[in-house]
Structure 1
Amino acid sequence: MRQFTFLFFIGIIIISISSCRTDFEAIPSSGKLKFSKDTIYLDTVFSTISSSTYTLKIYNQSKNDINIPSIKLGKGLNSKYRMTVDGMQGNHGKSFDNVNLLAKDSIYIFIETTAESTDANPTDFLYTDQILFDGGANLQKVELVTLIQDAVFLYPKKQTDGTTETLPVGDKKIYGFFLDENDPVNGNELHFTNQKPYVIYGYAAVPSGKTVTFDPGSRVHFHAESGLLLSSNATLKINGIASTTEKLENEVIFEGDRLEPDFSNVPGQWGAIWLTDGSTNHKIDHLTIKNATIGLLIDNNNGSTVQIKNTQIYDCTNYGILAQTAKINGENLVINNAGLAGLACTYGGSYKFTHCTFNNNWSSSSQVAVIVNNYYIGATPEVKDLSLATFNNCIIYGSYSNEMLLSKKTGSLFEYQFNNCLLKFSDFSSNSLYQFDTDPTHYNAIIRNKDPKFLKVEFNKLNIDDTSAAFAKGNATYLLPMDILGNVRTLPPDLGAYQNKAFPK
């Protein structure tokens, strides 16, 4: 019995050892690997900024375990690409020897790049390489392609004491810097042209008494937690003009610095455009803001009116526009999707919006398209006069039953009026602020809960056609002759920022 127990124990050990083997008999690869892609496009990256990580899957469809003698980049150690193969780093991410692949199995290769514009082909700005599998008669290749954009980089600089430049904001300091009109490298940083895109790290501040100007077609990309700040007595001039193609070649565009298509509609990639208390005389025309935390943060602007025309603001984590005791005149303005509100006119102020489209389909029960109030909630609630809040020929819509919130506290003015507007609002009951049918002082020709039939809300296309409830429902008294795209409006005009157009079937 003792001998049987001993032999049984030895057998278990032998079985355990054989089952834990990590090596296997493999035959050399015969050049019949299969790949998930034959070309990896790493999308567009800025010079010197690392790309996202892209994936290639390699399949062994044979019945045999195989050994791949080598996997390497065609440009070797000089390649600007780098890889990991099945979790291995290899030789600086450039080459790998004797990679085993089980029968009917697969492994992953992860690819990244960091390249400069000087590395790219000067005619098409493409940087290319290949992943080479094996060699000789068994050689197989996967192409690598990346578009490299040269850019002007703006960021806080190191001080002589070794610290990094910061900006004073109240009693705090934030990561940022002042734009310099005589910068020794970039020249006039207060003039943004369309020659190259700009990439901003931290908050770029416009000094007091200075004006920052953006030419038609200029492109500005903000890194995470970055933005633009207008100091007291500083001025913002956005000089975009109507474009003739969907590339928006004449639009000024503010967005994040992640250029991959997967990031095109991801909210909260950067901070805000902050028009601080005391900044003045801002004029914004044909600007597109995408994927910010707050698109435009507008404080009391020294009593001057912020002119916003032909502007689009999309996919902001908190607000498209957050105004506090501000003065705004908005024309042909489109705001779509924000975590809290597309437009928030708070703590009083004066606001007039004509032919604007405010929509919110954010997946949160707390979202609305438009908020208007006359107070600020702090340690001690404060009220300010809302001297004007007028909406003419506008659309206020979204995915929830009530897309407009009016809220007032006594002790200050609360003047508001909606003329010829399409509103998404179901429950108004006895609240005196929402008497759409019986309060002509505040509401005239209101259409409620009728579908504007936007083209593709999920792609920020809020165009309408002649089947829309907003079609020909505007009042000519408030007519803007051109819509946001430069199309001539007919009479009676459509509501919102877009003149109707037939959609492709």
Structure 2
Amino acid sequence: MRSLLALTILGFVVLLSSCRNDFETVPNTGQLEFSRDTVFLDTVFTNIGSSTYNLKVYNRGDEDINIPTVRLGQGESSLYRLNVDGIPGKTFEDIVIRAKDSIFVFVETTIDIAEFSATATQFLYTDQIEFDSGGNQQDVELVTLVQDAVFLFPERDADGVVETLNLGTDADGEPILIEGFILEDEELTFTNEKPYVIYGYAAVNAGDVLTVNPGARVHFHANSGILVANTASMIVNGAPSSDPVALENEVIFEGDRLEPSFSDVPGQWGAIWLTQGSTGHTFTNTTIKNATVGILMDSNDGSSSPTLNLNNVQIYNSSNVGLLARTGFVDGQNVVINNAGQSALALTFGGRYNFRHCTFVNYWNDSFRSFPAVQLDNIFVVSETEIQTTDLIEANFNNCIIYGNENIELGLLGSDEAAFNFSFTNTLLRFNDTQGVFDENPLYDFSNTARYNNLVVNEDPLFKAPFENELNIPDESGANGLDTSGTPIVPFDILNVARTAPFDAGAYACAVIPDDD
């Protein structure tokens, strides 16, 4: 019994000693190591919070250390915010890092550029994280580029109710409302002086024209976009992108997250919505990226001229469809669409379409894709028991590339209840029907020259980097020289390079592609 008591006391002493040593620390000696010596918080718009960035702080020594202070150099007045080892704040005391261990420091910011300059459109905001003081002090720099912008957003009343747009009624007679606002007369011209940041849907009222000047940058918050009403128009006047001086004159529509990690994330915003009855739309030298639907076109204006003209337009990373037109009237040349969760190009419920030297491909790899790169139909499914049809008056593809990372990249669904007219000329197509599913379908009879004239099937276009939206093609491409007519239908390619005979299919003329390294 006496031996058992002695062992118990000894065990308790050993345990107490072990616990006490575990919490003993030595003062910091200024030998901390950091995962980076400067934390660059990527460009942010004024008054929009940044992403959260992390810094790892290492104790490489054999003893636990205590850092008396960790603080922002500007103290409580700093516009940065920290979280040190799970604790938010701007000044911290007695931070312990165990031997051979590390802690995380998280950094974020929100900055109002107006507090620093009434005229500046961008500037660098800096501070430091100071670890310890005196001779042991070590600093990590914080740097943020802040950009001013024109903010357009719906009003909010005294009760907090956000302004909405009424889109009509649903099948039950209930109003269809979305957060949005009507652009005032003084807001109908977007310039390149400052970027635009849009919250909700910015609507172009009936009879008005939204003009977007060369070099304009338009950014959308989540669930936002542009809506063009009946009899209204949208004119986008970008400049050619091959001229080094004019590189900044392309017009870009994208999300409002400026961090590089968001540069190719699909579905960050809604759509550019050209509603039924809107008219006279032109997009020139324009890039639309990271939307749900890049351009959504409802119907056409009923005139003998295209309702939508596209010239040198790129649409990338749409979570649903790049260009979705229902009974549209579209004319396009040098159009490039890639990476869509469904189809790059969907021309549905009939209409009229003419495309020349376009590249419609889909290398979507974010999830399973069940739709082809290009989809044509003349039907509209109202319900399980009702299907409506409208004439596909024409859908002409000349000198185009239709390709992707699936075997079947062209979908044709035509009802005999309405016209279904289409043609592909000097076009490269991926259509690898390994199971013979479409062997008996006359719509896919590639020997029918009334519909397919000089169609090249399953030859690799050899795009430079299609998953990164780099769709340049080399001389070895299967799209090389498909048009031997001797007369260019579009004299310059999307890079403003003169086309020479024989002419290549797609928006890019064949060229030597240099290695990135």
TM exceeds 0.5? Answer: yes
CA distance in 1, matches of 2:322, 2:484: 26
Cross-structure match for 2:505: 495
1:100 to 70, 82, 96: 96
SS of residue in 2 equivalent to 1:368: coil
Residue identity opposite 2:378 in structure 1: N
Q: Give the C-alpha shift of residue 378 in structure 1.
A: 2.0
Residue identity opposite 1:324 in structure 2: R
Residue identity opposite 2:506 in structure 1: G
Cross-structure match for 2:40: 41
CA distance in 2, matches of 1:376, 1:110: 51
SS of residue in 2 equivalent to 1:353: strand
Comparing 378-387 with 389-398, greater Cα deviation is found at 378-387
SS of residue in 2 equivalent to 1:170: strand
SS of residue in 2 equivalent to 1:312: strand
2:105 to 99, 106, 109: 109
Residue identity opposite 1:35 in structure 2: F
2:412 matches 1:402 = no
SS of residue in 2 equivalent to 1:287: strand
Q: Does structure 1 retain, via aligned residues, the 8 Å contact 2:488–2:499?
A: no
SS of residue in 2 equivalent to 1:286: strand
CA distance in 2, matches of 1:16, 1:355: 79
Residue identity opposite 2:280 in structure 1: N
CA distance in 2, matches of 1:411, 1:17: 88
1:447 to 456, 459, 468: 456
Residue identity opposite 1:353 in structure 2: F
CA distance in 2, matches of 1:123, 1:329: 37
Alignment of 1:82-97 (within 5 A): 82-89=81-88, 93-97=89-93
Q: Does structure 1 retain, via aligned residues, the 8 Å contact 2:407–2:430?
A: yes
Q: Does structure 1 retain, via aligned residues, the 8 Å contact 2:239–2:246?
A: no
Residue identity opposite 1:400 in structure 2: E
Cross-structure match for 1:70: 69
Cross-structure match for 1:173: 177
Cross-structure match for 2:223: 225
Residue identity opposite 1:382 in structure 2: Q
Cross-structure match for 2:172: none
SS of residue in 2 equivalent to 1:103: coil
Q: Does structure 1 retain, via aligned residues, the 8 Å contact 2:46–2:111?
A: yes
1:473 to 482, 486, 495: 482
CA distance in 1, matches of 2:325, 2:238: 22
Alignment of 1:239-254 (within 5 A): 239-243=237-241, 244-245=243-244, 248-254=247-253
CA distance in 1, matches of 2:246, 2:290: 18
Q: Give the C-alpha shift of residue 402 in structure 1.
A: 0.7
Q: Does structure 1 retain, via aligned residues, the 8 Å contact 2:276–2:301?
A: yes
Q: Give the C-alpha shift of residue 248 in structure 1.
A: 3.6
Residue identity opposite 1:192 in structure 2: F
CA distance in 2, matches of 1:140, 1:161: 49
TM-score of the pair, normalised by structure 2: 0.92
Cross-structure match for 1:280: 279
SS of residue in 1 equivalent to 2:461: coil
- Deviation sequence 1:243-285 (CA, Å, 0-9, x none): 2249941111000000000000100000000000111111111
The 1:301–1:22 alpha-carbon spacing in structure 2 relative to 1, beyond 3 Å, is farther
Q: Give the C-alpha shift of residue 75 in structure 1.
A: 0.9
- Deviation sequence 1:348-388 (CA, Å, 0-9, x none): 11111100001101132413210000001121211110000
The 1:5–1:384 alpha-carbon spacing in structure 2 relative to 1, beyond 3 Å, is farther
The 1:22–1:97 alpha-carbon spacing in structure 2 relative to 1, beyond 3 Å, is farther
Residue identity opposite 1:280 in structure 2: T
Cross-structure match for 1:190: 188
CA distance in 2, matches of 1:359, 1:169: 32
2:300 matches 1:297 = no
Q: Does structure 2 retain, via aligned residues, the 8 Å contact 1:354–1:478?
A: no
TM-score of the pair, normalised by structure 1: 0.94
Cross-structure match for 1:163: 161
Cross-structure match for 1:350: 352
CA distance in 2, matches of 1:168, 1:385: 30
- Deviation sequence 1:105-147 (CA, Å, 0-9, x none): 0000000010122456859611111111111111111111100
CA RMSD of aligned residues (A): 2.0
Q: Give the C-alpha shift of residue 458 in structure 1.
A: 2.1
2:372 matches 1:368 = yes
Residue identity opposite 1:154 in structure 2: L
2:394 matches 1:385 = no
Q: Does structure 2 retain, via aligned residues, the 8 Å contact 1:338–1:367?
A: no
Alignment of 1:194-273 (within 5 A): 194-243=192-241, 244-245=243-244, 248-273=247-272
Q: Give the C-alpha shift of residue 159 in structure 1.
A: 3.7
CA distance in 1, matches of 2:16, 2:414: 77
Q: Does structure 2 retain, via aligned residues, the 8 Å contact 1:120–1:127?
A: no
Q: Does structure 2 retain, via aligned residues, the 8 Å contact 1:393–1:478?
A: no
Comparing 17-26 with 157-166, greater Cα deviation is found at 17-26
Q: Give the C-alpha shift of residue 23 in structure 1.
A: 6.2
Residue identity opposite 1:180 in structure 2: E
Q: Give the C-alpha shift of residue 234 in structure 1.
A: 0.6
Q: Does structure 2 retain, via aligned residues, the 8 Å contact 1:120–1:148?
A: no
The 1:22–1:164 alpha-carbon spacing in structure 2 relative to 1, beyond 3 Å, is farther
- Deviation sequence 1:414-458 (CA, Å, 0-9, x none): 00100000000011422111111x201100001111111111112
CA distance in 1, matches of 2:122, 2:153: 28
2:473 matches 1:464 = yes
- Deviation sequence 1:306-345 (CA, Å, 0-9, x none): 1111000000000001110111001100001100000000
SS of residue in 1 equivalent to 2:373: strand
Q: Does structure 1 retain, via aligned residues, the 8 Å contact 2:215–2:249?
A: yes
CA distance in 2, matches of 1:266, 1:169: 28
CA distance in 2, matches of 1:119, 1:37: 29
Cross-structure match for 1:184: none
Residue identity opposite 1:425 in structure 2: F
